């Protein structure tokens, strides 16, 4: 296991270098820079050029990338051009809300997808199966931002049950249980959007994997021995369906992160996704590069954990 993890970690470093280089080049190709975006347009061109030289914005892309890489090796993600704040501090300030949102939605999505997929596969062409299939196609077809706006209109505007934005109620001093309940209320709608759109895609694959397992000989043998239907479903069919489900969860992680960016913007959630959008619009590339690096590391870590989970789900798998 350890040699395998070490080899995958080395591969991840190479991929990270490629991802950061491509991200840096693509962002550098966009017109303008952070100074030209937020500085007073009445500033004389000579002073603007001097400021760009001071920040190194006039250097070639390759030189700037190598400089950024050298600082990264020493643990420095750079500084925001717009505010001068260290990028690491900015990311840490937004990391908690993003992990809270993504972690809650990912857990809910996994549970819903497995329950709906297993029930749908166990009762094909039943009302539950048709309901799950309809839900899956509707979730895939409807854009997440439209789904988010619909939930806001129904549950916030019309019913007034839930808040529409932010991590907690603005200008209210709360603590203890009141603070926890207030944050939970703010979490409901963004988590619902992320979890339900992700569930819609995953439930179809879970249903397909479990349905395929139910057709195998070992399932028929278990039924022939008189094993209860629920035990056959959970201990034989579902257990042998874990590998494709784990693979899909690993692949779904990048899309899940990109979905959280849209959700954070719609619900004004103070997380990394909203910070990424703000930094891109402001041409604040050090901040955008730091978040891109974090997202790439998250995806690679998810894939590594999925590989490790293979061995736990199927002891026959050996790491060479």
Q: Tell me which of 153 and 281 has the higher pLDDT.
A: 153
pLDDT higher than 80, residue 289: yes
pLDDT > 80? residue 252: no
Range 73-97 average pLDDT: 87
Residue 150 or 308, more confident: 150
Above 70 in pLDDT, residue 51?
yes
Query: What pLDDT was estimated at residue 169?
Result: 81
Q: Supply the angle between the helices 87-122 and 242-266 in degrees, to the nearest 10.
A: 130
Q: Is 73 exposed, middle or buried (0-12, 13-18, 19+ CB in 10 A)?
A: exposed
Q: What is the pLDDT of residue 120?
A: 87
User: What is the DSSP secondary-structure string of 267-314?
Assistant: TT--SHHHHHHHHHHTT-HHHHHHHHHHHHHHHHHHHHHHHHHHHHH-
Binned at pLDDT 50, 70 and 90, residue 138 comes out as: confident
Mean pLDDT of the chain: 82
The tokens for 214 are 């139910």
Element (H, E) at 46: helix 45-55
* pLDDT for 277: 87
pLDDT class for 319, splitting at 50, 70, 90? Answer: low
Q: Which letter, b or e, does each residue of 121-146 get, where b requires 16 or more Cβ atoms within 10 Å of its Cβ?
A: bbeeeeeebeebbebbeebeeeebee
Q: Which residues face 86 on adjacent strands?
A: 79
Please give the backbone phi and psi of residue 79, each rounded to the nearest 5 degrees, phi first. -130, 145
Cβ atoms of 240 and 213 within 8 Å: the answer is yes
Please give the residue that has the higher pLDDT: either 255 or 180.
180
Query: What is the per-residue pLDDT for 316?
Result: 64
Position 145 pLDDT exceeds 70: yes
Region 70-97: mean pLDDT is: 86
Task: For residue range 266-283, list pLDDT tens digits in order.
Answer: 888 888 888 888 888 888
Average pLDDT of the segment spanning 85-95: 89
Give the pTM: 0.80
pLDDT at 189: 92
What is the average pLDDT across 48-71? 81
- Which pLDDT score, from 0 to 100, does residue 154 have? 92
pLDDT tens for each residue of 173-187: 777 888 888 889 999
């Amino acid at each position: 296991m350890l040699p395998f993890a070490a080899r995958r970690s080395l591969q991840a470093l190479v991929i990270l270098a490629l991802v950061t280089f491509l991200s840096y080049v693509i962002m550098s190709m966009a017109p303008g820079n952070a100074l030209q975006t937020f500085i007073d347009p009445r500033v004389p061109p000579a002073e603007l050029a001097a400021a760009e030289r001071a920040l190194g914005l006039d250097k070639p892309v390759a030189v700037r990338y190598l400089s950024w890489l050298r600082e990264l090796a020493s643990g420095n993600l750079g500084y925001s051009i717009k505010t001068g704040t260290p990028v690491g501090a900015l990311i840490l300030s937004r990391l908690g809300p993003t992990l809270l949102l993504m972690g809650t939605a990912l857990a809910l999505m996994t549970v819903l997808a497995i329950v709906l997929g297993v029930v749908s596969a166990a009762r094909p062409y039943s009302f539950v199966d048709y309901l799950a299939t309809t839900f899956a196609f509707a979730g895939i077809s409807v854009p997440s931002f439209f789904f988010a706006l619909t939930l806001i209109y129904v549950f916030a505007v019309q019913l007034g049950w839930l808040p529409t934005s932010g991590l907690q109620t603005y200008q209210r001093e709360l603590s203890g249980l009141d603070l926890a309940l207030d944050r939970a209320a703010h979490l409901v709608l963004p988590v619902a959007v992320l979890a339900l759109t992700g569930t819609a895609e995953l439930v179809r694959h879970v249903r397909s994997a479990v349905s395929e397992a139910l057709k195998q000989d070992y399932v028929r043998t278990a039924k022939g021995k008189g094993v209860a239907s629920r035990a056959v479903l959970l201990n034989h069919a579902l257990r042998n369906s874990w590998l494709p489900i784990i693979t899909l969860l690993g692949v779904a992680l990048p899309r899940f992160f990109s979905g959280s960016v849209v959700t954070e913007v719609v619900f004004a959630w103070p997380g990394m996704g909203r910070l990424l959008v703000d930094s891109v619009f402001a041409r604040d590339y050090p901040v955008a590069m730091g978040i891109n690096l974090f997202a790439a590391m998250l995806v690679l870590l998810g894939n590594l954990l999925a590989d490790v989970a293979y061995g736990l789900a199927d002891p026959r798998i050996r790491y060479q």
